[in-house]
Amino acid sequence: MYVRRTTSNGMSEEEKIETVKFKMMTEEFHQGIDIVREYNPAVTMYGSTRIKDGQPFYERVRKLAYRITKELNYAVLSGGGPGIMEAANRGAFEAGGKSVGLTIKLPTEQTANPYLTDEIPFHYFFARQSAMSFSTEVCIFCPGGFGTLNELFEILTLQQTNKIGRIPVILFGSEFWGPIDSMIRENLLNKYQTVSSSDVNIYMISDSEDEILEIIKNSQFRDGKDSLN
């Protein structure tokens, strides 16, 4: 038999725990947004933890982030972990700019990479994910796994539904992103018609550092006012 245990204020212990959790979520969300506003203009870079130093794409991301910081004086934001995130932070760090990690507490400890000038710690994924895109000028997606794809499709959905203003979404690396783009066009657009032709124009694929820098240079400064309408 279930017994509902109450505290002195009339709430059950379960309700009290949930209330505390909700308060923590709300505070973390607002604090994260407030801090991220300080890094403007900024580019957010996403990608796998499994692509390591010495692999070709690690070096490509490192070089791109270096140029973004050195030539355009943009801050570079990432998830602050290893792999592609480290490469992005490393490039910005070596260029002498702001290298920001929005780190997450996981059951198995994920160490922040050593190339951060600033770290913003999070406990909840949704708060971190919102903060990463809140006021960034451009989102650059590099090869990654389920987490990267989750972040990509959330950004695409928010733009598709006009919940945030349009910002450039660049998929860096045609060899990786080309087959995913083909799946979207062939299955979602043409075969099943679950997206419209305008939806596949929300993102672009590029292998060119110069093209990406030009897009960033021409992007609109944001302060988050167009986010989460």
Segment among 125-134, 138-147, 208-217 with least mean pLDDT: 125-134
Q: Give the largest Cα separation in the chain, rounded.
A: 67
Say if residue 9's pLDDT is above 90: no
Class of 41-217 in CATH: alpha beta
The Cα 177–Cα 173 span in angstroms is 6
The Cα 203–Cα 167 span in angstroms is 9
- Compute the average pLDDT of residues 67-79: 97
pLDDT, tens digit, 9 for 90 and up, residues 168-225: 999 999 999 999 999 999 999 999 999 999 999 999 999 999 999 999 999 987 765 6
Q: What one-character DSSP code corresponds to residue 189?
A: I
Segment among 16-20, 139-143, 184-188, 190-194 with least mean pLDDT: 16-20
pLDDT, tens digit, 9 for 90 and up, residues 30-44: 887 888 889 999 999
What is the value of pTM for the model shown? 0.88
Q: How confident is the model at residue 2 (pLDDT cuts 50, 70, 90)?
A: very low
| Sheet with 169-172, edge to edge strand ranges | 118-122, 99-104, 75-78, 42-46, 138-141, 169-172, 203-206
Task: State residue 14's pLDDT score.
Answer: 84
Tell me the three state secondary structure of residue 132.
helix
Say if residue 3's pLDDT is above 50: no
Please give the share of the chain, as a percent, with pLDDT higher than 90.
68
Cα 136 versus chain centre, distance: 9
Task: State residue 25's pLDDT score.
Answer: 80
Q: With beta carbons less than 8 A apart as the criterion, state whether 83 and 49 touch.
A: yes
